[in-house]
Structure 1
Amino acid sequence: MPSTPHDLEKRRRRSLGWVVFLSAAALVFDGYDLVVYGTVVPVLLSDPDQLGALTPAQAGRLGSYALVGVLVGALVAGAVGDRIGRRKVMLVNLAWFSIGMAITATTHSVATFGLFRFLTGIGVGALVATVGAMVAEFAPAGQRNRYNAIVYSGVPAGGVLAALTAITFGDTLGWRGLFWVGALPIVLLLPLALRFLPESPKWLVARGRFAEAEAVSARTGIPVPAAEPVVEDKVGFPALVSRRYAFPTALLGLMSFAGLLLTYGLNTWLPQIMGEQGFGKNSSLTFLLVLNLAAIFGGLLASYVADRVGAKRVVASTFVLAALSLAVLPLSMPAGFLFLAVALAGVGTIGTQVLIYGLVSNYYPTTARAAGVAWCAGFGRLGGIVGPIIGGVLVGAGVGGSTAFQLFAGISLLGALVTLLVPRPAHASSRVAAPSTTTDRTTVAA
């Protein structure tokens, strides 16, 4: 018996819900991994019995090892994701990431801890690079920034989870127990992903696999899209360095570099800096909680605006918001204003990075989308590597938080400037909206 339009729509909504839920849940553990290290840095610095004697500068470098792994994982995922599909990359790396977190929890030296932070980062990078392409290809036109923000809000949500877990159970679980929590995706998410995560029909069409796209569509209710106009005959990374995309690719990479430098720098060192300013352990961790909670809600609100006015304008504005809030953080102010400044900094740093992923995932055609997001996540992670190192050097030198916050504010302004220089997508002028759909403002106005 043929499916009715109502049945197809119900199936489509259910399939989209699974894609969004599984993608967001995977990134929750990415965010958890990001912030959990910041929550245990004070313990590792104060207790040499854990991994050995550790200086602030060494802790900053140790925090960067996972980010080197993220860079490698993102670039590898970008190289293969546009060729083998989104689903396979996600399944493999859910398992990879979980195993890496579990082994990290068992390490007893700085060297082995750093090694497995690097290996865990490979799985994180592959997931971050893949979910953006996946969501962009399943989300309805005109709502892609919103769905992207929902999914990438998993990163600050994971930060909230890490901060709450550390505040509530840190003394009970210890730092090893906090890392064991990060290994849960292999038992909580992987079985669900194997059952409910479909391959992207849009990717299948782009690869000429029309029969498979029809089969996925019949099973999930996701419509088979029309083939995109061919504006670039290269696939994956070669398309990014073509004459058409080379300049915007460089700018988008610099935007992500700035966004992730701010994100990782603050998440790694905010508790330590606030602790040195006289706040207790739980109060310092509460700043992390506020930073990431504000990023979730602020990022979602900003994505709603981005679907209407274009992501580029909103990203530039949130970079400026970050600069203003970071510049006032060193000032003496009542606690309420201080928490407000931290919240606005969360929107302008972590929230901005959420929006950048949305802009990038809709900037490139399907045949280069995973590579584009991978470039954004991978090159951006170089900024993520630099951020904790800068914080570690400044804290170790006794300069204090004021200089760090002022430096981060300057980087935010540079991020806003780079964003304004990004040109209109090359394929936007060739895209024709279907008569029954709304024009994709994300693509046209990115």
Structure 2
Amino acid sequence: MTTSDTATVRTKVPARLDRLPWARWHWMIVIGLGTVWVLDGLEVTIVGNLSGRLSEPGSGLSITQSQVTGLGAATYVLGACFGALFFGWLTDRFGRKKLFMLTLGVYLFGTAMTALSFDPWWFFLFRFVTGAGIGGEYAAINSAIDELIPARHRGRVDIIINGTFWAGAALGALLTVPILTQLPASWGWRAAFALGAVLGLVILLVRRHVPESPRWMFIHGRGEEAERLVGDVERTVEREDKVTLEPVADDQAITIHTRRTIGFGEIARTLIRKYPKRAALGLSLFIGQAFLYNAITFGYAQILQTFFGVPAGNTGYYFAVIAVGNLVGPVVLAPFFDSVGRKIMITGSYVSSGVLLLGTAWLFSTGTLSAVTMTACWCVVLFFASAGASSAYLTVSEIFPMETRALAIAFFYAIGTAVGGVSGPLLFAELVGTGKVGDTVLAFVIGAVLMIAAGLVEAFLGVKAERQSLEQLATPLSAVKEHSA
């Protein structure tokens, strides 16, 4: 039971959520919230693979390929950084559900307007808006998922859900093939962006049934609602799975001061002063993966066309293969993040991908790679890197207090992405655009070194978070000390 007075609430809600068996209710959460990464993968891949067609005469836009993959990508990422911070702050203030509905709506508007682009400034503006919606999604969705999924499943679920970005990437890559080969240059790319809006609308309809986070509810003075919600879930699980849930012990209860809002200053002090090592860890993981992934995602089609003479209409096939490797990595490796442990798996995935990328750079420099073998090499590199990138979101979403969770995700996403995600596409497009093998090798090496460095930071500063409740990992700021975990 949850008991409360005007200032405090004593609750077993976190422990009750963590002891639930995996049920159909959890699948509803995964489908309703996790599928948005498919949209992000679709958006990013479409732009990268359509860059050649967008720059052709008759496309309806007076724009170059380097502007699409460089400035266009950077604008999208900047929008994502802004959206993460702004909507992340609102998520901690007004709740997970309100914001994961609002941010998807922003995405829908942005991508629909992109399809109507008539001038480069319009295209860049609404790439920013689209990115803002997606950035806000990262904060709202990851915080909601971690607070609703049982602790023993949290690692694998988070890793796999973030990895579904690549299901969208594969879809986007294959979608661009008929667009580039069968449809007129003037409106084929518009149809691709419009499809993203249609898919987003379907997800919005499914998402209506996903509940607010009970953890957020009881901290914000809605303890009775949290109690009713968890009670309904427990009864549903017992009925559908034909199980009897054991009662939660009294020593697993937590007492907290309820409060409507928490100041940004207190949140910032918590992240920087109370958890400086964890803050350094989050930044390292995000910068490493953001540089590598934004650079290669937006720029791989340009590499294929520049160095291997692959026609613009065929680059989607190669990228689809890379996307499959990225998707398989999290699916195969995710269970080990809960069994073997976070530190070993995160360190291993980051360092392995970096070392393999150095090997790819060397093979590319010797001229021994073809478009097919280059793609195969990247597939192996990204098998490990994809699990590592997903673990960055998992890490920052579980190692900071409840009241700061969404903004913490937003902060590290925004800073890491601003450093790596904006510089990556710009630098990558510039280096690849020279047509010199040595310049592209340099881009590969920078990405590899950043990934290895992030893996080493995890080895020293990583947190053993597997199978632990969120409240054990970081006591809520609102917790009454004598009852804190």
CA displacement 1:199-230 (0-9 Å, x = unmatched) = 11122123342101012223433899965577
Alpha-carbon distance between aligned partners in 2 of 1:315 and 1:353, rounded to the nearest angstrom: 9
SS class of match (1:189): helix
Of the three residues 197, 202, 217, the one matched with 1:188 is: 202
Matching residue's letter, 2:195 = V
Distance in 1 between residues matched to 2:114 and 2:332, nearest whole Å: 36
Q: State which drifts further: 401-410 or 208-217.
A: 401-410
- Would you say the 8 A contact 1:57–1:389 is kept in 2? no
Match of 1:21 among 31, 35, 39: 31
Query: Paired residue for 1:295?
Result: 326
Return closer, same or farther for 1:178/1:399 CA change in 2, 3 Å cut-off: same
Q: Which residue of 2 aligns with 1:199?
A: 212
1:135 shift after superposition: 1.1
Q: Does 1:61 align with 2:71?
A: yes
Q: From the superposition, tell whether residues 289 and 186 of structure 1 become closer, same or farther in structure 2 (CA, over 3 Å).
A: closer
* More off after superposition, 28-37 vs 95-104: 28-37
Residue from 410, 427, 440 that aligns with 1:374: 410
Task: Provide TM-score, normalisation by structure 2.
Answer: 0.79
Secondary structure at the aligned position of 1:108 is classed as coil
Shift of residue 270 of structure 1?
A: 0.8
Q: Structure 1, residues 39-74: CA drift from partner, whole Å, max 9, x if none?
A: 111222343753214262674022110111100111
- Runs of at least 5 residues in structure 2 that lack an aligned partner in the other structure: 1-18, 238-244, 474-485
Q: Is the 8 A contact 1:364 1:425 kept in 2?
A: no
Corresponding residue of 1:211: 224
**Secondary structure of 1:205's partner?**
helix
Correspondence for 1:323 among 338, 354, 365: 354
> Cα deviations across residues 231-272 of structure 1 (Å, max 9, x unaligned)?
9x9677335434211332133023112111111100111111
Mapping 1:279-428, distance limit 5 Å: 279-281=309-311, 283-330=314-361, 331=363, 332-333=368-369, 337-382=373-418, 383-400=420-437, 401-424=440-463
Alpha carbons 2:281, 2:462 under 8 Å: kept: no
User: How well do the aligned residues superpose, as a CA RMSD in angstroms?
Assistant: 3.0
- 2:481 is matched with none
Partner secondary structure for residue 199 of structure 1: coil
Of the candidates 85, 90, 113, which is equivalent to residue 80 of structure 1? Answer: 90
- Deviation of residue 341 (structure 1)? 1.3
Partner of 1:443: none
1:425, distance to aligned residue in structure 2 (A): 7.4
* Alignment length (residue pairs): 423
Instruction: Give the structure with higher Rg (CA).
Output: 2
- Equivalent residues of 1:235, 1:367 under 8 A apart: no
In the TM superposition, residue 365 of structure 1 has moved relative to its aligned partner by 2.5
User: Matched residues in 2 for 1:205 and 1:227: separation?
Assistant: 12
Q: Which runs of 5+ in 1 are unaligned?
A: 1-8, 433-446
Aligned-pair distance for 1:75? 0.6
Task: Identify the residue that residue 472 of structure 2 maps to in structure 1.
Answer: 431
1:117-166 deviation line (CA, Å, top 9, x unaligned): 00111110011111111111111122111110222122111111111111
Could you state the TM-score of these two structures normalised by the residue count of structure 1?
Answer: 0.86
Q: Do the aligned residues in 2 keep the contact of 1:30 with 1:124 (CA within 8 Å)? A: yes
Partner in structure 1 of residue 476 of structure 2: none
Equivalent-residue separation in structure 1 for 2:306 and 2:226 (angstroms): 57
